Structure 1
Amino acid sequence: MLESEKNCKVRDRWNDGGWVWKWRRDVRGGIEQSQLNSLLILLANVELQNGQDKARWTLDDQGIFSVAATRSHIDEMRLLGQDFVTR
């Protein structure tokens, strides 16, 4: 809610290897500070690259999403030793 440019992109907030925020006001502490700290922890290992955005599905060797791969993964993780599979 603090963001002054609601339609900005992630790349607009990344500059010279660091995050640059454009907020209406400074973080005042309390829950805002807690949420900012959580966000920074989540962003600590993010690596940004130039190029087109793309998503990679890690449950498939080719990186393509499929319901079958998802169902298979759920079966392997949740139904160990069972004689039935999900529909």
Structure 2
Amino acid sequence: MLDTDRDCSVASRISIPNWQAVLRRCPRGGVELSQFEALQAILKDVVLSDQCDSWKWSLDVSTGFSVASVRHLVDSRFLVVDQIATCWNRHVPIKINVFLRRL
């Protein structure tokens, strides 16, 4: 909220040497100043690349991500061996199931 350009990207601000040139005002003391200093500390070591973001699944690199590979991982490492295949929990909200699948 302090930036003069509210539509700016992180990439455009990550390597600027003088933050005062792009701020509407200097951070006030207290929480605002400590949050701003924490942000600067985090950003100082960040290196961005030109590659597009993507999901990667390292267990089955040849075919990419699949629900079957996640089920196989869960069945083989975390569950008691049984004849019944693992089913997603239908009582859990869909956004949680999708998040866990992506995770």
TM tier, smaller: 0.5 to 0.7
**What is the CA–CA distance in structure 2 between the aligned matches of 1:45 and 1:71, rounded to whole Å?**
34
- Name the aligned partner's letter for residue 85 of structure 1: T
Match of 2:94 in 1: none
- Tell me how far 1:37 sits from its aligned partner: 2.8
Structure (1 or 2) with the greater helix fraction: 2
- Tell me how far 1:44 sits from its aligned partner: 3.6
Compared with structure 1, are the counterparts of its residues 56 and 29 closer, same or farther at alpha carbon in structure 2 (3 Å cutoff)?
same
Compared with structure 1, are the counterparts of its residues 30 and 86 closer, same or farther at alpha carbon in structure 2 (3 Å cutoff)?
farther
1:17-52: CA deviation from partner (whole Å, max 9, x where unpaired): x55431110011211122223323332431124x3x
How many residues matched?
79
Matched, 1:41 2:41: yes
**What is the CA–CA distance in structure 2 between the aligned matches of 1:85 and 1:41, rounded to whole Å?**
44
Q: Higher relative contact order at CA 8 Å, sep ≥6: structure 1 or structure 2?
A: 2
Q: What's the C-alpha RMSD, in Å, of the aligned pairs?
A: 3.5
Compared with structure 1, are the counterparts of its residues 68 and 4 closer, same or farther at alpha carbon in structure 2 (3 Å cutoff)?
same
Compared with structure 1, are the counterparts of its residues 57 and 31 closer, same or farther at alpha carbon in structure 2 (3 Å cutoff)?
same
Scaled by the length of structure 1, what TM-score is found?
Answer: 0.55
2:80 match: secondary structure:
coil
In structure 2, runs of 5+ residues without a counterpart are 89-103
**What is the CA–CA distance in structure 2 between the aligned matches of 1:44 and 1:59, rounded to whole Å?**
29
